[in-house]
Amino acid sequence: MQIAGKKVVIVGGSSGIGLSTAELAKREGADVTIASRSAAKLDAVAARLNVAAIPTDVTDDSSVAALFKRTGPVDHVVVTAAQLRTGPFKTVAMEDVRSTFEGKFWGAWRVARAAEFRTGGSLTLVSGFLSIRPRPNSAVISAANAALEALARALALELAPLRVNCVSPGIIDTPIRAAMPEDARQEMLAKAAASLPVGRVGQGEDVARQIAACMTNGFMTGSTVYLDGGALVI
């Protein structure tokens, strides 16, 4: 199965893993639309890649409905949109943990409900390896990721023959940690790289290639692929 000529919508496509997926899909000849909140970020990517861009906030029902009204029926949808707020379990604000779920989990839920898929299409969600390899101060991220992986399995059944899968990345060097001081960010990435069997952290392109496999492998549905450079075996 090819993605050339297919209509591919990447919700979260203006940055990181979503951006790498948009670049790959465009290179392969797909008709690509990216969506995220910031019109400025979207416009810059749309101009560089020559793809369509539609400002969308996945926390807003009507915004997600408007996105898919504008795209019309689509072949493949990928959801990478997330803004994560976390902290120590006993003290993190409820507002923060609710907002993490609102974007990452309910955002994917809204997209899955609103998109109209053509025959042969697919939906790929992006979770994260904290679902099964938790660490302190990120319980809400572990829970949201695990919920997404369960959602992919449930939708693979309920929305069949639409294929629904989840990709669960490990540490990937993207702008998601842009708020960290640069020294601390580099130190964290270097430490993670040294601990992994592959000796490096991931790049957006590593995950994009797996997402493309989810789109194109017609036998793949209800699967979660952990793509983490070996983080689950250390």
Ligand X SMILES: NC(=O)c1ccc[n+]([C@@H]2O[C@H](COP(=O)([O-])OP(=O)(O)OC[C@H]3O[C@@H](n4cnc5c(N)ncnc54)[C@H](OP(=O)(O)O)[C@@H]3O)[C@@H](O)[C@H]2O)c1
Residue 208 as a binder of ligand X (CB under 6 A): the answer is no
- Closer residue to ligand X, CB minimum distance, 50 or 119: 50
d(CA 137, CA 206) in angstroms, rounded, equals: 27
Q: Judged by CB, which is closer to ligand X: 160, or 234?
A: 234
CB contact at 8 A, 205 and 20: yes
Pick the closer one to ligand X by CB: 161 or 191.
Answer: 191
How many Å separate Cα 18 from the centre of its chain? 6
Complex with ligand X: residue 218 or 230, whichever CB lies closer = 230
DSSP structural state of residue 176: G
Contact string 39-78 vs ligand X (x = CB under 6 A) = --x--------------xxxx-------------------
Contact between 109 and 82 (Cβ < 8 Å): no
Put the strands of the sheet holding 163-169 in their side by side order.
52-55, 31-36, 7-11, 74-79, 117-126, 163-169, 224-227
User: Smallest distance, Å, CB 226 to ligand X?
Assistant: 10
Interface region with ligand X, contact rule CB under 6 A, candidates 111-119, 165-173, 183-191, 214-222: 165-173
Under rule CB under 6 A, residue 169 binds ligand X: yes
Task: State in angstroms the smallest separation of the CB of 178 from ligand X.
Answer: 7
Tell how far CA 125 is from the center of its chain: 6
Q: Which 3 state secondary structure label does DSSP give 75?
A: strand
Should residue 80 be labelled a site residue for ligand X when binding is judged by CB under 6 A?
yes
Rounded Cα gap, residues 34 and 46, in angstroms:
8
Residues 81-140 that bind ligand X (CB under 6 A): 81-84, 103-104, 107, 126, 128
Task: Return the number of the residue (8 or 218) whose C-beta is nearest ligand X.
Answer: 8
Sequence-ordered list of residues with C-beta below 8 angstroms from that of 95, at least 6 positions apart, any chain: none
Give the one residue of 21, 24, 33, 37 binding ligand X; rule: CB under 6 A: 37
Query: How big is the CA angle at 123 (ends 122 and 127), to the nearest 5 degrees?
Result: 145
Between CA 95 and CA 46 the distance in angstroms is 33
Q: Which residues bind ligand X (CB under 6 A)?
A: 12, 14-18, 36-38, 41, 56-59, 80-84, 103-104, 107, 126, 128, 169, 171-172, 174-176
